[in-house]
Amino acid sequence: MLGRLILLIALVGAVLWFLHWFRRTPPERVAKLLRRSLLWGAVGVLVLLAVSGRLHPLFAALPAAVPVVIRVLNLLRLLPMIRQAMHALGLSGRSGATAGTGGQTSSIRTRFLEMTLDHASGEMDGLVLEGPFQGHRLSALNPEQLVDLLLLCRSADDQSAAVLEAYLDRVRGGDWRERTGGAGAAPPPAEAALTPEEALAILGLAQGASKREIRAAHRRLMQRFHPDRGGSDYLAAKINAAKRLLLDE
């Protein structure tokens, strides 16, 4: 009886941890991890069956397994929609910039994008402001659409391209570079035309923020978006520029 209780507690804890991880992790990273888990799980099952001499029943069951695999792949494509539904139901774990440090967000606006950075989770997402994907969230675009948007940004606005590259680096690693011909474009100056209002938005602060609040917000953002922690040189430079401008350094 005690063993079953411990098992039940462990199962509930695992489910709660998974839900917390799911709502805090960018959709592309969730889908990528699930695909890898399915692949290595299948390899492990094949190895186990081969060692135990039970491969023949597996081959007999393959036709029935094909529809299940197709449904799982379709579910992975729906991850952005599932996350949006969770957000609409209040289950996304984000409460906006007014809920204190745990829900504080920063904003970087360019010609094509309005990018948001969550201080607590390090999650990035953005709204497309112009072009063929206007009105769409970045998390709802597939890899091909993101590459098309990046090529458009590179041809028309260096600031938008630098911000989108930072997003792609964070949620897709280096995979996207292979689709765009290697390294990214040279980032534009981070301090170009930066106003006090933009600096406050970058640090996620309101007008009249104290020097202590500015330094604290800068420290939290650098802990999340430093190049050594999955951020980018451009984002780090932008965050540093906002701090210097607000502190008049």
CATH fourth-level superfamily of 102-247? DnaJ domain (1.10.287.110)
Rounded-to-integer distance, Cα 50 and Cα 106, Å: 52
Task: Give the pLDDT score at 103.
Answer: 55
Helix residue ranges, H only, the chain: 2-24, 27-52, 55-77, 79-88, 143-156, 158-172, 175-179, 196-203, 211-225, 233-247
Report pLDDT digits (tens) over 100-131. Answer: 444 578 888 889 999 988 877 778 899 999 99
Predicted local distance difference test score (pLDDT) of residue 78: 57
What pLDDT score does 177 carry? Answer: 72
The tokens describing 50, both together, are 């081969």
pLDDT at 97: 39
Return the pLDDT at 94. Answer: 41
14, two tokens? 């695992």
For residue 131, the SS3 value is coil
Taking alpha carbons only, the member of 192, 187, 202, 189 closest to residue 243 is 202
Model pTM score:
0.55
CA distance 121 to 171: 13
Residues of the chain below pLDDT 70:
1, 19-32, 49-51, 53-66, 69, 71-103, 173-175, 179-193, 229-231, 249
**Segments making up each domain of the chain, as ranges:** 12-88, 102-247
